[in-house]
Amino acid sequence: MAEEEFEPIIIAFCCNWCSYAGADLAGVSRLQYPPNLRIIRVMCSGMVHPNLVVDALTKGADGVVICGCHPGDCHYLEGNLKAENRKEAIELMLEDFGLEPERFRLEWVSASEGPAFAEMARSMTKTLRALGPSPYRV
């Protein structure tokens, strides 16, 4: 019997105003992308604390992506810049936990970019399939 292909679990923190709407547009447009994403809607990408990313990865998720508005388009003015400033801290924490930096991404997706959201989901899934399961996966 052939071994099944590994299917990663990806947690996607999506801002309410842009990225979540972009994900919704991808869905209503019937764009094909892997069902590996588990979307968590947050009001702003800037409110995703680095501990949330690390907790997700150390509790079994294979990857995490934070999706926010493009710089200059944040509904809360500078929330996405706050998320961008936290990116380096998150990457350092991943290193401390022995996790590859490719397991985390920060992406900008607007409400009108359904195809970009679908491509991000395909790309992240492909990257994580190549990396294999998280060492913290039970």
- 4 secondary structure, DSSP code: P
Asked if the model's pLDDT at residue 31 lies above 80, the reply is yes
Burial of 85 (0-12, 13-18, 19+ CB in 10 A): exposed
Asked if the model's pLDDT at residue 2 lies above 70, the reply is no
Q: Average pLDDT in the 50-77 region?
A: 97
Q: Are 41 and 16 in contact (CB under 8 A)?
A: yes
Kindly state whether residue 1 falls inside one of the protein's structural domains: no
* Each residue's pLDDT tens digit, 103-116: 999 999 999 999 99
Kindly state whether residue 137 falls inside one of the protein's structural domains: no
- Structural domain count, the chain: 1
> What is the chain's mean pLDDT, rounded?
95
d(CA 122, CA 120): 5
Inter-CA distances, 107 with 3, 110, 123, Å? 33, 10, 12
Kindly state whether residue 63 falls inside one of the protein's structural domains: yes
The CATH number given to whatever domain includes residue 82 is 3.40.50
Kindly state whether residue 138 falls inside one of the protein's structural domains: no
Asked if the model's pLDDT at residue 4 lies above 80, the reply is no
Kindly state whether residue 2 falls inside one of the protein's structural domains: no
Asked if the model's pLDDT at residue 97 lies above 90, the reply is yes
Look up residue 138 and give its two tokens.
Answer: 């039970």
* Neighbour order of strands in the sheet with 10-15: 37-42, 10-15, 63-68, 104-108
Task: Note if the pTM is more than 0.85.
Answer: yes
d(CA 53, CA 34): 21
Kindly state whether residue 3 falls inside one of the protein's structural domains: no
Domain range holding 123? Answer: 10-131
